[in-house]
Each structure stands twice: as C-alpha cells, then as structure tokens.
Amino acid sequence: MQKLITLLFFAAIGLNSNGQYKSSGNWSYGTNSDVFDGSYKIASVTGSSSVTPYKTPTFSIWIMKDKSIPDICFKGVPSSVCDGKKVKIKFDKDETVFEMVASGGANNESWFIQPYEYRFTKDFFNDIKSKSIMHVRLSSDCNQSYDCSFSLAGSTVALSFLNIDYTSLFDRN
C-alpha cells in the first residue's frame, strides 16, 4: 500500500492530465485520480534547504476519497533507507516541537508520517494553517540529520480544500 501511495504522490506532483490544480501562496492543491483507488485530493508546498543536492524538498498532504486519515510525506530529501527514522517539526519560533517516527516510501525516496499513529493534535494542523514557517529535521540511525523549511503562505486555503475530518484524527489520541 505504501508503494501505491508513493506512486499516487508522484502522479499528483507531476500534475498529469487527469488533475485539476490551483495555487494559494506557495501551495498547490487539487484533485487527481488513479484507476485502482479512485480520486484523491492533494496539497503540497516546495521548501528549501542548504544541503546539496536536496535543496528543494516537497511536503505533501493528501487524502483518498472515502478515507478519513490523510497521508503526509516529505520528498526530495535524503534516502529513508536507514532504520530509526525520526521527524521533528517546529513552527516559526515556537518552543513546541512535534516529534514522530517516520516510515520510508517506495525506493526509500520519501519519508511518511501518519497523524493517527504519532499523536498529532489539532495544534499541529492549526499551526500549519496559522504560522508562517515550518522547520523540519529528518534524522536516522545512520548518524545523519537533514534540516529544511517550508513557507506556509497559502496553507489555509490548500488544507481547507482537503476537507479533512480532524475529529476522526483526534479521537485516536
């Protein structure tokens, strides 16, 4: 299933001919479809890093039709081949750090986090919509860490388009 989701992600980012996409600030969002799983909605933003060759990472959230749990992914980042994958997220200059375990996508080219498994709170989604910068650190047992940042300008419109049922996520916490 993880490989299928990764393929859907690549198709969405590639903006194939089936998709209809709009933009808001730095974010793009829209719908697409897959012959196996049907339609899905996606919102994504390209970030920045000083690490070569991973200077333009992508952060995406998408939700399949008739599903209540979104998939969240970082792509264009260092390989997720090593064990012990962890993600830390801070917003603006806040002291709060969201920490979670990550899983690797197809060919170890992406990092996935899942809100229902890693105790995301409503604060996390509200911060994406209300803050201006999201700082991310990816790390693994390979003794490496990777830092990047994403502008959140336009995220409110993009996330509202996804129409995620946040209550289904919070009931699991």
Q: What residues does 103 pair with on adjacent strands?
A: 112
Q: Count of CB atoms within 10 A of residue 167's CB?
A: 9
- Predicted TM-score (pTM) of this structure: 0.81
Instruction: Print burial letters for 7-39: b (CB count within 10 Å at least 16), e (below 16).
Output: ebbebbbeeeeebeeeebebbbbbbbebeebee
- In tens digits, the chain (173 residues) has pLDDT values of 444 444 344 444 444 445 678 888 899 999 998 888 788 999 999 999 998 889 999 999 988 887 777 889 999 998 888 889 999 999 998 888 888 888 888 778 899 986 654 456 677 788 899 999 999 999 999 878 999 999 999 999 998 898 876 656 555 44
Q: Could you give the CA distance from residue 154 to residue 132 in angstroms, rounded to a whole number?
A: 9
**Whether the Cβ atoms of residue 110 and residue 48 lie closer than 8 Å to each other:** no
CATH topology of domain 2-164: Immunoglobulin-like (2.60.40)
Q: How many CA atoms lie within 13 A of 137 on its CB side?
A: 11
110 and 75 in contact (C-beta within 8 Å)? Answer: yes
Give the residue extent of every domain in the chain: 2-164
Token duo for residue 113: 């986090």
